Structures are given as structure tokens and as C-alpha cells.
Structure 1
């Protein structure tokens, strides 16, 4: 089973987290893509998709995630059976818009029938926790889920 990791990043931090997650899942066929370079029509129900997305400004998607999100909104194809997981990045200083980027992507995928696996990770830049460390730990936890084993079998 393939694992497709898509990242939306304004400053490169989400891309770095995506690389760490890919490194934790090397036992599988993993590919890594910038959201701006990945077509929604290429989402494959036979693969597990991991969305790594930062939050920009006041709760917006990073620039490179906007075309992907727009395509999710305008697409007509149902994503029933598509499995995805989300690792979000944000800063709790922004209050109610904290980690909104990952939430937006998850909402758009779910609205089209996709199923979220595992816990939505939410890195907070205002803490001492390093994003790369949290990404590695989250990927290991995701890998240990029974639903992950089913999704990648």
C-alpha cells in the first residue's frame, strides 16, 4: 500500500515535518508532494494520504495549499473510502484560529466522503516542543493504530 504525504507550508516548517513523517514510515511505499503540485484527481482511495499543513496569518491556509483546497471545493468526484491523517501546525497565540490550516483541509476532505484516521496532531509553535520531534512521535503513534495496519495492508 502506498502512503502519499502532502504538505502545505508557507515558511518550510510543514515541509520539514512531512519529511520527518516520511522517514518514520520508510517500511512503506511513501511519496512526498507539495500540495500546489498535486492534483485532487490524483487522490487514490487505495493509498493512505497524510496531510501536513501549517496555518498562515489569521487562520488561513498557506499559499501553496490554496489551489489544492480550491480544487477540493470545486471537484465533483466523491472521495468515499479515501483514508487520510492530519498533522497540523500553528501558534496558540492566534487563539481561535490556532491550527486552522490542518482543520480546513480535514473538513474539505471529510465533506467529500474521506475518512480521517487517528488523532489530528496539532503542533503549537508557542511551546518548547520541537515540530520535528512531535512529527516523529505522531508518525510512530499513527503507525501503531490498528486502522493504520488495515489502511496499509
Structure 2
């Protein structure tokens, strides 16, 4: 299964997590590549790939800088993503209850609206916790990959 790890980041945390996920997948014999959302087009989403999306939250529940242009294109995109499978990992800070992890949720809603299927649990890292973001993501990864392979 070819996996594309897409990330949207403001400070670089999502990029580091995306790279750690891809490194783990590649070490385990999967094929994974990492792409910044600002360098990815919605038309490139295909059922042949599985997508792991890692996205932080910025400001008042907004998308991070590198995801803004993709989201604008994704909002205007009218393609059918039936058959596309993805998993979502959001970053945020639960101290901000109303906007916690909302950046990733903007993308998640659009994937669903276009017919894509999210597999596995919605992964999240809380900046208010003592947990390291990559540790949380790497713990989440096997269940998501198992769900994707079973789907």
C-alpha cells in the first residue's frame, strides 16, 4: 500500500510528525512519501494511495499557513473522492476548548463532503499534555494502517 503523508504546518511540528510517520512506514516495508499541502493539488488525490493527513491549528481554530492555499483549492474542487481513503491527525491545545484541533477538522469535513472515507480513529495531539507529538502519532499509526488495510 502506497501511503502519502500530507501535512499542513505553521511552526514545523506537523512536518516533523509527518516525516516520523513516513520513516516508520518505510522501515516497516511500506512505501510512504511526505508532501507539504502547499505543494499538493486536490486533483492528485486518487484511490491508489492511502493518505495520512497531519495538520496543526493556528490562531482561533484556523488552518496553518502551509494548508491555506490547498484548502482554498480543495473548497473549489468538485471532484468525486469516492474510493479515496485517508486518516487524520490533528494538533491543537485543549486549553483553547472551542478551537481545539480545528485546523485539521476543516480538511476532514471537505474530504468527507467529496466522498472520501476516513479510516481508523481520528488522531490528535494536545499541546497541553506532556506527551511528545511524534510519540502520540506513532502510537496511533498501527491502528490506522490496520484499518486501511482491512478497508
Q: TM-score range by the shorter chain?
A: over 0.9
Range that drifts further, 18-27 or 1-10: 18-27
5 Å matches for 1:5-20?
A: 5-20=5-20
Cα offset, 1:110, TM superposition: 0.4
8 A contact 1:49–1:85 mirrored in 2: yes
8 A contact 1:39–1:68 mirrored in 2: yes
5 Å matches for 1:1-153?
A: 1-26=1-26, 27-143=29-145, 145=146, 147-150=147-150
**Aligned mates of 1:20, 1:148 — CA distance in 2:** 19
**Aligned mates of 1:137, 1:24 — CA distance in 2:** 11
8 A contact 1:24–1:140 mirrored in 2: no
Runs of 4+ in 1 over 6 A off after TM superposition: none
**Aligned mates of 2:71, 2:47 — CA distance in 1:** 18
Residues paired across the two proteins, number: 149
Cα offset, 1:20, TM superposition: 1.2
Cα offset, 1:150, TM superposition: 3.6
**Aligned mates of 1:67, 1:37 — CA distance in 2:** 9
Gaps of 5+ in 1: none
Cα offset, 1:142, TM superposition: 1.8
State the superposition RMSD in angstroms: 1.1
Cα offset, 1:141, TM superposition: 2.4
**Aligned mates of 2:111, 2:144 — CA distance in 1:** 19
Give the TM-score of the pair, scaled to structure 2.
0.94
SS for the counterpart of 1:89 is strand
**Aligned mates of 2:43, 2:101 — CA distance in 1:** 26
